[in-house]
Amino acid sequence: IKGNGRNGFAFFDPSMAAQADERHRLEVDFRAGLARGEFELYYQPLVEAGTRRLRAMEALVRWHHPDHGLVAPDRFIAMAEDTGLVGALGEWILQTACAEAASWPDDVKIAVNISPVQFRKTNLLDVIMCALVDSGLPPERLEIEITERVLLEWEAEHLSTLHQLKTLGIAIALDDFGTGYSSLSYLTAFPFDKLKIDRCFTRDLLARDDCGAIVCAIVNLGRSLDMVTVAEGVETETQLQLLRAAGVDQVQGFLVGRPAPAAELGITMARDGAA
Ligand code: C2E
Ligand code: CA
Ligand code: CA
Ligand code: CA
C-alpha cells in the first residue's frame, strides 16, 4: 500500500478520498488495459428448455488485470459508463463477439450486452454495422440485450435505433426482466423479440410459490406478444423441470454451461466456411 501523503484536514473524510483514489487508479488501469488487450470475452450457452439444443451464446466480458487477476464486469462496467470508456470497450466487445461467432455453426446466435450509456452516448447503429461488415456475420445471428435502464431515459431517437436494428434482422432482448421499474407498456412500445426473466425468479422458484406464478405470467405475456422467453440462472435440474413446465422457451445457467473462453467452448465448427 502506497502512502498517499495527504495533509488531512479534520473534516476531510479519508474513506472518501480512498475511494476516489481507488476509482482513479481503476480508470487509469482500465485505459491501459484496453490498449494492452487485457480484456477477454467469455461465452455462456442459451439452450432450448425442452431439447437442450444450443440456440445462442451470450458474450460476457472479463478483465485480466495484471495485479488483480480476473476481474468481473460488475467491478468495472459502472466506472466505464461514468467515464465514457464504455464506448471503446463496447466497440471492442461487438467487434470481437461478431468475429468469433462468424466461425460458429449458422444456427447459433451471439448475444451481446449493450450498456445504456453505450446506447445513449455512441452511435450504436454505426458501431454494430461495422462489426457486422468486418466480421461477415449475418445480422440475423446477432442479438442485443438491453436492460430497462435504457428505457427509463428513452428518447424517440432510441426507439428509432431499435427499429432500425430490428429492420436489419437483429433481435432485441430485454434483460433482467421483472426486476426494474418496467411498466408493461414498454413491452408494446419497444420492438422486443425476447424476454430474459431475471435470475432472482429462478433462484426462488422452489421456495416461493409467487415466483412460479410470476414466471408463468411472464411466459403467457411473452406468448401473447410473440416474444421468446428465457430463464436465467438455472443451476439445478429441479429448476429446469419447473421452468420447462411453466413453458419457458430457453434456459441459461450453470446447470447448462458456465461462461467460458471461446477456446474452451467446444462449439465444433459444423462447417468450415472459408478457409
Ligand atoms: P447479465 O447480463 O444478467 O449476465 C448474467 C450474469 O449471471 C453473468 O455474470 C453470468 O456469469 C451470471 N450467471 C450465469 N448463469 C448463472 C447461474 O446459473 N447462477 C449464477 N449465480 N450466476 C449466473 P457476469 O458475467 O459477472 O456479468 C454480470 C453483469 O455484467 C451482466 O449481467 C451484465 O449486466 C454485465 N456485463 C457482462 N458482460 C458485459 C458486456 O460485455 N457488456 C456490458 N455492457 N455489460 C456486461
Ligand atoms: Ca445479459
Ligand atoms: Ca440478465
Ligand atoms: Ca443481471
Determine the residue of 60, 92, 93, 195 to mutate for testing ligand 1's pocket, defined as the one with the most ligand atoms within 8 A of the Cβ atom: 60
**159 vs 64, 189, 207, CA distance in Å?**
35, 8, 38
pLDDT at 265: 86
Contact 90, 118 (CB under 8 A): yes
How far, in Å, from the CA of 72 to the mean position of ligand 1?
9
How far, in Å, from the CA of 85 to the mean position of ligand 3?
22
Q: What's the CA gap between 71 and 57, in Å, rounded? A: 21
**Ligand 1 atom, smallest distance to 147 CA:** 34
For the entire predicted model, the pTM comes to 0.91
**136 vs 53, 97, 113, 129, 179, CA distance in Å?**
24, 12, 20, 10, 36
**Mean pLDDT value of segment 204-219:** 86
Burial profile 238-255: b = 16 or more Cβ within 10 angstroms, e = fewer: ebbebbeebbbbbbbbeb
pLDDT at 95: 98
Whether residue 8 has pLDDT greater than 50 = no
As a 3-state breakdown, the chain gives helix, strand, coil percent values, each rounded to 5, of 45, 20, 35
Q: What's the CA gap between 230 and 49, in Å, rounded? A: 9
**Mean pLDDT value of segment 36-55:** 97
Contact 109, 143 (CB under 8 A): yes
Q: Count of alpha carbons within 13 Å of 217, Cβ hemisphere only?
A: 10
Bigger pLDDT: 188 or 171? Answer: 171
Q: Is 61 in the pocket of ligand 1 (CB under 6 A)?
A: yes
- Over residues 62-77, the pLDDT tens digits come to 999 999 999 999 999 9
How far, in Å, from the CA of 8 to the mean position of ligand 1?
40
Q: What's the CA gap between 176 and 116, in Å, rounded? A: 13
- Over residues 103-153, the pLDDT tens digits come to 999 999 999 999 989 888 889 999 999 999 999 999 999 999 998 887 777
Q: Is 257 in the pocket of ligand 1 (CB under 6 A)?
A: no
Beta bridge partners of 62: 40
118 membership: H or E segment, kind and range = helix 116-121
Q: Pick the closest to residue 48 from 192, 270, 247, 261 (CA basis).
A: 247
Write out the three cell numbers for 126.
454505426
Write out the three cell numbers for 49.
428448455
Write out the three cell numbers for 70.
480476473
Q: What's the CA gap between 133 and 98, in Å, rounded? A: 9
How far, in Å, from the CA of 195 to the mean position of ligand 3?
10
Determine the residue of 85, 94, 113, 258 to mutate for testing ligand 1's pocket, defined as the one with the most ligand atoms within 8 A of the Cβ atom: 113
- Identify the band that residue 229 occupies on the pLDDT scale cut at 50, 70 and 90: very high
Whether residue 85 has pLDDT greater than 60 = yes
- Identify the band that residue 11 occupies on the pLDDT scale cut at 50, 70 and 90: low
pLDDT at 70: 93
Whether residue 2 has pLDDT greater than 50 = no
Q: Is 251 in the pocket of ligand 1 (CB under 6 A)?
A: no
Write out the three cell numbers for 134.
468486418
Whether residue 155 has pLDDT greater than 80 = no
How far, in Å, from the CA of 7 to the mean position of ligand 2?
44
How far, in Å, from the CA of 58 to the mean position of ligand 3?
10
Burial profile 178-201: b = 16 or more Cβ within 10 angstroms, e = fewer: bebebeeebbeebebbbbbbbbeb
